[in-house]
Structures are given as C-alpha cells and as structure tokens.
Amino acid sequence: MPLFDKSLLPLAVTAQPEPVKLDHAPRILMLYGSLRARSYSRFAILEAERILNYLGAETRIFHADGLPLADAVEANHAKVQELRELSAWSEGQVWCSPERHGAMTGIMKTQIDWIPLEIGAVRPTQGKTLALMQVSGGSQSFNALNQMRILGRWMRMITIPNQSSIAKAYTEFDEAGRIKPSPYYERIVDVMEELMKFTRLTRDVSAHLTDRYSERLEAHRKNK
C-alpha cells in the first residue's frame, strides 16, 4: 500500500493557478495589547495605521475594551463576534503589545485566543500576512515579539521578517500621542512598507500557498 495518494499531490510548480489579481486596497486588521488611557501600544498602532493608509491600505483597529477572557463566555458575545468578523475580513494584520513581566500582555493573548484556527469552513488567519510590534518601558527587548512570532506561525500566518521594538516608549511619544522623529519611527515605516509588499504579493494566491496534502486527504476520506 503506498504511503501517499499520488492523485492528491499538488500540481507541479509550473502549473500554478493564475493569480486572482484583486483590485481592492489591502485590508489590514490592527490589534494592540493595552487598555490604559495613555497606551503606547495604541499610539504605535495609530502611527502604523497612518502609514498604512498613506501606502494605500484599508485599515480597521480592534479595541479590546469589554472583550472577556477566552472561554469565559459563549462565542456569540458581541465583542468576540466583532473580532472574528474583522479577522475574517482582513488580508493582513498588525499586532502590537507592551512587554509585561518579560512577555506579551494578557490582553494581547486574549484577543489572539478568541480567533480560532477555523470556524466551520472558514480559516480566519491562515495565509494572511502579519507584522509585529512591541513597546517597552525599559531598554529594548524582543520578548513579546518572539512570543507573538510563535503565535503567528501557529495561526498559520505569513509573518514578515521585519519587526519593530520601541524602547522607553514613554520618552518616544509627545503629549498628543504622536511619535517623535527617530530611528524607531523609521523602523515602523520599514515594517509597514514590508507588510504592504508581502500582502500584495501573497493575498491573491493565499489559497494556493496554504493548500495542504494532509487536508486534501482528510477531505477525500470524509467524502468517501
């Protein structure tokens, strides 16, 4: 008995499907991991949104106020449905978390935990691009970024190589919440520009990139 079903193997590389050539602006969902009135992760997300809008993206920011802990309520909760609908709408995402106790915040993790790998036949995150940012109260760190990168891979997202880490964030934003000119701001521009490139390159072939033998085999067995 063969180890694999040859009839379910993918097409040759030379026989890839034609790109869909989507004609709408890239749709980007933005999440941040703090509920403070003066939230530097929110400020960073707002700066990133301005850049994305300038680059031609359509953006939505999810505000986690009122979002319950994962599994504390049924999934039909209004905030949970809002988050899941935005995730399904998006073609790329930006996650920005403060670092707390050497890790991302619970608020950031709760948002991600409410987005399952699949809802029926819909995969809210698979094949979508992801850019990562973090803000720190002290010296520059990458702990939250590293954790979110693991989660991005687990959520089957195309996590871009570049990332942003803002050290001593309380010194980098003015009273109005705007970031001051600095290499930190320039890095945010770099990251958003790279996110746009990856999103435009991959969104119309996402289904092809995420097509898996094991899932085709499972579907084949169910249909027998």
Most distant CA pair in the chain, distance: 69
Q: What is the pLDDT of residue 120?
A: 72
Q: Please choose, from the candidates 53, 39, 58, the residue with its C-alpha nearest in 3D space to the C-alpha of residue 97.
A: 39
CATH among 3.40.50.360, 2.40.50.140, 3.30.420.40, 2.40.440.10 for 23-223: 3.40.50.360
Q: What is the pLDDT of residue 51?
A: 97
- For 189, the enclosing helix (H) or strand (E) is helix 183-202
In the structure encoding, which two tokens stand for residue 213, read together?
């033998």
Q: What is the pLDDT of residue 14?
A: 47
Q: What is the pLDDT of residue 10?
A: 66
The answer on pLDDT for 11 being more than 90 is no
The answer on pLDDT for 222 being more than 90 is no
The beta strand positions in 40-190, using DSSP E, are 58-62, 92-98, 129-135, 158-166
Mean pLDDT of 61-72: 95
Question: pTM of this prediction?
Answer: 0.88
For the chain, the structural domain boundaries read 23-223
Interhelix angle 143-154/106-113, rounded to 10 degrees, is 10
163 close to 131: Cβ distance less than 8 angstroms: yes
Mean pLDDT of 148-176: 96
Mean residue pLDDT of the chain comes to: 90
